[in-house]
Each structure stands twice: as structure tokens, then as C-alpha cells.
Structure 1
């Protein structure tokens, strides 16, 4: 993983900058004239402490401390481009201009961006460049990177900072930038990465999943960084084709792409999906992840055949750990197993499976900010049912290792390890010996999701199936943001798949094969929902 600090998925900037292009327009031989007022007494040591504690943290402990302490002192938010005043270490939002209010009232002209380490001058109204400050920033960044080992299993390996050096512009490059001042402004309306897909004959099930995968941030970063080293024939490797697909999507071309090579490889490696009949999007997702997983290599150069010990990009992003606790009803002994998963399939009201009666507006629903309409079911309701204890009954007795005999038991599923991308599959298609139908029950799902109540570590806080848990507002380890929704319109026999994609924060688009249109948040949340893709809000390097 290349996540070397707690990283906000919803941030609009995607990579740190050692030298900021915006600073070049204000940079002069003398630099910012307002910096000298800060350079008094022990300013270098004070600046180093700020970088060490609040910008680049070297260990997991310091990163957690940073995440808990760095909140806006006015509104309590973690995000919104948090800055710290250099004079009094006052944290405040840049986007909401809380740090501007502080600077104006205290006449403190300089602040530091806590995510990228840039220095902002409120007098110049721009990020500024100072040679002495930049040198301190680089030194502290290298120290932090050297503390980050590439893998937790081998502490002897070099740190990230020793392996990857920062880019510094040469004198010639700086001269070229000064003589060519035209720069392209990337705005929030940028649509690079949005591209339609031609339907090749009932292939909307594939197109909707491709849209979701190409807008998965870490998967996009992996494929665009050309990190895949293929040992297969290039015309048979699905990872190579996905790399090419990402290049096509982010090339800036607007014409719809024709994914014929991808379809051919899917037919080749997942023969149960071959043919022009309409297939299930969820089935395609699992098949695609499986083939990508098999065609990837882990960091040690070994083929990824064991899902429990794999470091391929698919497992890094999508694999979580599901804990199953089977409790004997006689001796209360617990047998625990942990299995990997790529997605979570959730039962819905209206199915033939008995659904746990849930009261609207319960603690779990309020936790995730889901609004109940009369009788509506929420995603949290479905997760509560998924993780409730289930009595297995007399017909499914297990041999208890404590009693040394077959006894009745209860089984409970919880999340032992959460994936970076959590995919929830709402089981809308019911197939049985007597029944084949689609379940159209509306399920409310939130933009932000907290998975803390469904963790194995939260089991002790559950009483009679209700969550009696005090939520820590500063604990973001298990919080997710919605970034893609796959929908199915129609019946079981005849239907069509579309996808809602989040391009930027609060900017959504509907992908209907070759046609892409802008969508509102209401359009997304009012949709029926078949596959829901959530991305972790913060990533912790492990």
C-alpha cells in the first residue's frame, strides 16, 4: 500500500506536491515578505514539531494521535482542508474559512496545510514558497517516510522514503515554467474519467461493474501507475486489459469506449458468463474480481492462489474478514472461524427468508444518518439482521468440543476486518424450487456509513439485538463514503442495469451504457439499489 498517512478519500487533490505550481506565480527572489515576522527565536524547532506531530507522522501511534487531535476548533470537522496557525497551533477549516477568521482576528498571517504541509499566507492570499521552510519540510518528511516499512512482516526492508525519492525541479524546468505561465485549472466540474461504454448485446451487466471499478480510487491509482508486471501472454491477461481500459477512461476522450477485448477475456476465463444472454451484475463482479485476483502477483513475485495470504491489489482493496462465532447453548463454549469476503449479501423484507422485525428509527439507523419513511427498511437494518445471533435449532446440532457431544447452538456473524471498499449486495433476485422473482422492496442507504456496530469488537455492547453503544465522533477508522450504486430496472426475465458514479464530492453522474448524464444526490438515494459500493474515508498504513 502506498497510503503513508491518514488520507481523506473525498479530498479533491490526489497527490502531495513538493513544489506547488500555484506558488510559482507569487515566488520572487525575496520570497514572501510576511515570512520574516515568523522567523524569530526558536521558529525552526517549532516548525519541526508541527510537521512531526500534525503533518507527517512516522508511526501508527502518532498517526492515530494526529487523527484524534486535528479537528477544527470552531466546527469540530476533520476534513474541509484543515490548517493550523503557525503562531498558536490553532486548527481550523480552510474551506469554511474558519482559519481565515482566526487569522484576521489574531493577525496571525501564516498557516500550514495539515494534509500536504504547504504554507499559506493570508496577506498574499496564496500558498507561498520559502527556501528555509521547504528544507525543514523535506527533512521531516524523509524522517517520517523512513519509519514507514514496506511490509509489517519484514522490518528489515527499506522505508518508503528510502525507496521513493521526491521530485525536485531543475533550474531549467523552473525557467520553462516561468516562461510558460499558462496552466490548466482542474475544477470541480472536470469530467476526466467519465466515459460511456457501448452495449455489445445485453452487456449492461458488465458495463455497470466496469464503471464502478474504474471509479474506485485506489484501483484507479494502481492501474494508472503501471505497476502490473505480467508473466502471461498479454492477450490473455485480464489485468493487462484492465490497465488498458483505465488508460482509455482517463485519456480525456469523450466518445464511448467499445470494451470488446474485455468481453472476450471474460468469456474466456469465466465461461459461465459467455454468450449474449443477460447476466447478473453481482455474479459478474465476483467473477471479474476472481480472475483479476488470479492474474495478479503479490509483492513477493508469487502467484496469488491463496486468498488468505495474498497481497495482490484486489485483496488489498476488496478483501475483508468475516468472523463466525458458534456458541454452545449448554456450556456456552465458543468456536470462532474467520473467512475472507469480497462482498456482503443482505436479505431483504419480502423474500421467502424470514426477516427480523425491526422498529424504524432504532439506534443503528440513527447512527448512520438514515431517514426512515413509514415502514421503510434501511441498509443499517439489513446489516443488523446480518449480524444478529441466529439459533440453529435441533436439526442443525454441532459437536461441541467442550461437551464432547452434539448440542444446539447459536451462530453470529460479525466483521473482524473491514475492507477498503465495502460492497453490499442486496438480494433482489430470489431463486427457489417453487419461486423465481425479483424483490423490489425499497431500501434506504446513507451517503456516509459507520460500520463500528457490526464489528466483532462491538459484540459485547449488544443487548438483546439492540446496540447500546456510545459512538466516538472522533473515531473514523470504520467510516465509509458511498461512491457507486448499481441499479436494476425491470423484471427477473427482462431488465437493464445502470450505475450512479460519484465523480467528485457531492457530484454524481448516471452511467447508462454509452449515455452519461448528471444526477442529483436525491436521484442516487431514491434509487432502488442493487449493489452499493462504499470506500473507507480514512486509510491507515499497516
Structure 2
């Protein structure tokens, strides 16, 4: 490209566009006096709906202001053929036919290099808020969530300044704006305190509890904009449920008549027990024979994520003290219960239960759990239940079945004790580029750093997505 800029832009320019830009800048950008600030406040409104927010844009061909969110600036550009404008933060316009033709002939318009750090930005700790910062880092690097918020697809029907989805949308804009200085998430913290009062205050909170509370509030504030039938057990088509909701199948089998009662419940995450907790941990490693599953070796004797998932989905005898009324026997009988995955979410979050709270015990469980970069959930599906024999899983996995395969993209860690600790996050950029996010400080990390970390919350993304 020449120093004069893109030659194709000249076809859209009007003769006086520089003068128009200068007037806009003098009157509405640089407001040095009280008079100009007052004039700006009165004049900077959408000429179609009267709103002074919604990412206001100005036409460079005439005196017109239009909001981007409600696409009033788009309507003006289309009707008047005024194709150039400036916005409060962006100059983002829907492409014209000519622009689309240019893009078709030049498909590679931007090169993302291996050392690109788009979207990486530190977060200021506002007083024991590392629990919030680490989850924000994980959410802002969730690919489909990022695409949703950067495409202005949220249509808010709540009162201004009270919608968490609007704040998250603004947060994504801040993260991907190119600014490198740490962001101060004070508005997000205020909304969390407003909508999840059990998290209010400056005490250290649990990152897992914050994640579930944030997803719950986002789910309640989201609106189904596309009107399509939900394809998840929650019967909701908001972006949160599209990405995070899976279906957990519970099969209760009567020990007398062997009748099975099945229920399916939605879940946003899977909480897994660890060895060393007061809950007995079933030794599941395949007898030290060197076999592997999901690329995890059992030779070292370390507990693996697969071990935890096996324990989670094993049949459990409920005992005589927890008899359930059988619909076949019409009486209370002993039974077994088994959990499996009926439907997998796009993003699978695994919560390793490191904090133990009981009447006699409050402690952190530091047991190291090995977790893989790539995870195959096929052995834990309800459809794979018939292939299990006496609680043992078949080691042969169909290498051509990629529907249930996941890739790791974020790991939340907790350092310290139950009373005094700190949260950090490992984030994946591109394929094998990892960064450690420690509040305002972001540093390069290796894959070994990630896999050697203790692990508290593990975020996996499906490798292949279905679409309609």
C-alpha cells in the first residue's frame, strides 16, 4: 500500500471530506471549553432515534449522526450512498457490494503472526478480585463467546447500566481494542455485586463460585435473538447455553427387578472429586500396565483427569440407607446410580474440588492431577455405556470419531492455602502459544508450565462443531 493510503478509498470520498472531519473533530472530539462541551452534549445524538449512546457514528459526507447498535448509521449510508464515517471508537461499516467484490479477490487481508497478542490485556486487582480477573480472562478467550460479543448481536431490553451482558460486550471491546495498558473492571465488579450479592465485598471469593454466578446472570440477561429452537437440555437458545450447557444423564437401577429410571439434567460444569479428600477415591488406574487413555500415562502413578472422570461416571451403590421407590416393584428397594454424558457442551469446564468444607475439616487438597492438551470424552458418553464391562472401559477408541474431542484453552490455578491464596490463569493464543495472566501482569508461558500446574478449573473447547 502506498503512503497515500488505500487507492480504493478514493472512490468513496467526497470533495470536502477533510473539512467535514476537521469540523467533527473540533466540535465533537476536542471540546476544550465549557461552551463546546455543552454544545457537544446537546448535539451528539442519533438523528433517527435520539439516543446519545449505542456507539454513535458521524457521516463524513453530511451533517448526520447515527447509532451503530440499532444500525441507523447503516441505513443512512445505504440510502444516501454516504459510505465514509467516523465513530466514537470504531469506523466499522457493513461492506458495500464493491467492498465485498474486493474482499473476494483479496481474501487474505490480514495476517495473524505467531507472536500476535490480540486480545491479551491485564486486569487491575481492585482488592482481592483475582478470583474475578482469572474467570474474565478465560471467558474473553472463549472463541464463540468472543465472536458473539464482537459482532453486536446482543439486543438489550433492560434498564441502562444494569445489564451484565452489555458490560461484558463493552469488556470484549476493551480487550480487543489494541490497548495494552491494564483494564480496570470496576463496572463489572459493581454489576456482580448488584446481581450476585453473595459475592459482594472485598473478601477473597471462590473462582468457581464466581464462574457459575457469572454464567447464571449472563444467562438471565441474555435474550434469544434468533428465535431458533434450543438444542440443549436447558431449552434455552441464549449464547451462554449454546456454548456451556450440556446434558447429564442419571440412570438409577433397581437391584431387585433391574428396572432403570433415567433423568437428564443440564450442567455448566463438572465437579470432580480428588484423591486425598474425605470422600473415598476409587483406584482406577489400569494396574500399572503402561496403558494410556487420552494420552495420559499411568506409569508414574499420578492421578489423571481421566481417572477423575472414570470415578465420576462409575456405577455407585446407594446402600440400604438410601432406598428409592421403584416404579416396577412399587416399593422401596436398594439401587445403583450411574452418571454419564447425554450431550456434551461446546466448552467443557472441569472443576477439580480442591477446597473441602465439612463440620470437622476445612482445607485445600493439593493433589497433583495430570490433564491432557487434547481430551476424548467418548468413553464417558451415555451412548458408550453398553461398551463398559464391570466398570472397566474399552481401551480402543475410534480414531475417526472426532465428535467428542476437545482441546485445552484455559487453566485457572490457585496458589496458597484456603485462608490465603491467589488465582492466576493460563490462556492459549492460537495453537501452541500460551500466556500466564496474573492480574495486571501477562507473561509468556510454555506448554510444560501449563501441564505442570496444579489445576483448579480446566476449560476445553470442542475441536469440531455442528452447525445448521
Q: TM-score range, shorter-chain basis?
A: 0.7 to 0.9
- In structure 2, distance between residues paired with 1:42 and 1:76: 27
**Alpha-carbon distance, 1:375 to partner:** 2.3
Aligned mates of 1:274, 1:300 — CA distance in 2: 34
8 Å contact 1:461–1:469 — kept in the other structure?
A: no
Change (3 A) 1:302 1:504: closer
Counterparts of 1:78 and 1:472, CA distance in 2: 57
Question: What displacement does 1:457 show?
Answer: 0.4
CA contact (8 A) 2:56 2:65 kept: yes
Report the CA distance shift for 1:307/1:288 in structure 2 as closer, same or farther (over 3 A).
Answer: farther
Deviations 1:366-408 (A, max 9, x none): 2200133532100000000000000000000000010111100
Q: 1:185 Cα shift?
A: 3.3
Tell whether the 8 Å contact from 2:288 to 2:298 is kept in structure 1 after alignment. no
Equivalence map 1:459-498=2 (5 Å): 459-468=385-394, 470-498=396-424
CA distance in 2, matches of 1:386, 1:107: 61
Aligned residues: 467
Structure 1 residue 39: deviation in Å? 40
Deviates more, 1:42-51 or 1:216-225: 42-51
Offset at residue 233 of structure 1 (A): 1.4
Conserved? CA contact 1:297–1:304, under 8 Å:
no
Secondary structure of 1:466's match?
coil
Q: How far apart in 2 are the matches of 1:476 and 1:55?
A: 52
* Contact 2:234–2:245 under 8 Å retained in 1: no
Q: Is the 8 A contact 1:427 1:530 kept in 2?
A: yes
User: Separation in 2 of the partners of 1:455 and 1:58?
Assistant: 64
* Deviation per residue, 1:97-146 (Å, 9 max, x gap): 9999999999999xxxxxxxxxxxxxxxxxxxxxxxxxxxxxxxxxxxxx
Shift of 1:464: 1.4
Which of 39, 47, 58 in structure 2 is aligned with 1:84? 58
| Separation (CA, whole Å) in 1 of partners of 2:420 and 2:90 | 52
Distance 1:380 1:66 in 2: 60
Listed one character per residue, the Cα deviations across residues 175-233 of structure 1 (whole Å, up to 9, x for unaligned) are 99999999753211110100000000000000000000000000000000000000001
Whether the 8 Å contact between 1:197 and 1:259 is mirrored in structure 2 is yes
- 1:222-261 paired onto structure 2 within 5 Å: 222-261=148-187
TM-score (norm 2): 0.76
Q: TM-score, normalised by structure 1?
A: 0.66
Q: How much has 1:265 moved relative to structure 2?
A: 0.1
Greater relative contact order (CA < 8 Å, ≥ 6 in sequence): 1
The residue number in structure 2 matching 1:179 is 105
| Residues 363, 466 of structure 1: 8 Å contact kept | no
Whether the 8 Å CA contact 2:272–2:308 is kept in 1: the answer is yes
Residues 384-393 or 37-46, more deviating: 37-46
Q: Tell me, what secondary structure is at the counterpart of 1:62?
A: helix
Contact 1:294 1:305 in 2 (8 A): no
Report what 2:314 is aligned to.
Answer: 388
Contact persistence 1:83–1:92 (CA under 8 A): yes
Matches within 5 A, 1:128-527: 173=99, 185-299=111-225, 308-359=234-285, 366-372=292-298, 374-468=300-394, 470-527=396-453
SS for the counterpart of 2:210 is helix
What is the Cα deviation at residue 468 of structure 1?
2.0
Residues 40-62 of structure 1: CA deviation (Å, up to 9, x unaligned)? 99999999999999999999999
Q: 1:53 to 1:455 in 2, by over 3 A?
A: farther
Q: How far off is 1:234 after superposition?
A: 2.4
Q: Deviations over 1:450-484 (max 9, x none)?
A: 00000000001001111125311111000000000
Give the Cα separation in 1 of the matches to 2:349 and 2:135. 12
| Residues 47/339 of structure 1: CA separation in 2 closer, same or farther (3 Å cut) | farther
Indicate the RMSD between aligned Cα atoms, in angstroms.
16.8
Distance 1:160 1:454, change over 3 A: farther
